[in-house]
A and B are shown apart, each in its own frame.
Chain A
Amino acid sequence: NAGVTQTPKFRILKIGQSMTLQCAQDMNHNYMYWYRQDPGMGLKLIYYSVGAGITDKGEVPNGYNVSRSTTEDFPLRLELAAPSQTSVYFCASRDPDSSLPNSGNTIYFGEGSWLTVV
């Protein structure tokens, strides 16, 4: 039972380089999220998706792009990396069903990707 899988776990980028953080979930969840978390801070939403082919911006989308061609995959693309993008990135998924009280519709997180831009 893999859950949410993120790769890579650690990466060092040079300023101006590009890369893609991969995220895959095997729970058939419609909702997927990308967050960044700076040291000692809370989670900031970068982008989210409510289903294949649908994506939308969160609080801090600048410098990032996403795609959702399948239910399983939700990659995050960093174009022209900047030092301000040094952070920990978490991918998450859920499948809310508000018709079920206390359904415990858990948010499942990947293990995180530590990115340093130098």
Chain B
Amino acid sequence: GQNIDQPTEMTATEGAIVQINCTYQTSGFNGLFWYQQHAGEAPTFLSYNVLDGLEEKGRFSSFLSRSKGYSYLLLKELQMKDSASYLCAASSNYQLIWGAGTKLIIKP
């Protein structure tokens, strides 16, 4: 079957680092998306990994291991505005398999 798992909720402190994990099982895997979604808004694109390894974009980095079916999103120097849900999605042929999202709570 196809499924994708990520933690439901995480809490971190402003200025700290947090890693949000995502594991997936799909057929015909093409790549792995990470999206950010603030409450009441549409998801916005953060990253798309096709190849194994780490991709860094400013404070956000995303890692992929295709052999392990594993990805993580790393957020550094956390700011209060990073409080949001983070969705991972596996691209499998024409389909997108979405995780339920990880709600990240940032405390001062």
Contacts and interface: CB of A to CB of B under 8 A. Distances in A.
Nearest to B42: A109
Nearest to B53: A102
Interface stretch (B11-19, B65-73, B76-84, B89-97): B89-97
Question: Chain A contact residues: over half helix, strand or loop, or mixed?
Answer: loop
Interface centre among B42, B48, B95, B99 (most CB of A within 10 A): B42
A112 B45 contact: no
B2 to A, nearest CB: 11
Given A90-B42, A107-B33, A109-B42, A102 B99 contact: no
Contacts of A109: 42-44
Question: Chain B contact residues: over half helix, strand or loop, or mixed?
Answer: strand
17 contacts: A35-B98, A41-B100, A42-B99, A43-B87, A45-B95, A90-B42, A90-B43, A96-B30, A102-B50, A104-B48, A106-B45, A107-B33, A107-B35, A107-B45, A107-B89, A111-B41, A111-B42
A105 B48 contact: yes
Contacts of B44: 109
Interface of B: 30-31, 33, 35, 41-45, 48-51, 55, 87, 89, 91, 94-96, 98-101, 103
Interface in A48-82: 48, 50
Range class of the A interface residue count? 20 to 34
Contact of B94 (A31, A102, A104): A31
B30 A98 contact: yes
B75 to A, nearest CB: 19
Nearest to B4: A42
Ranked nearest first, the 5 interchain pairs of A and B with the lowest CB-CB distance are: A42-B100, A109-B42, A43-B98, A106-B45, A42-B101
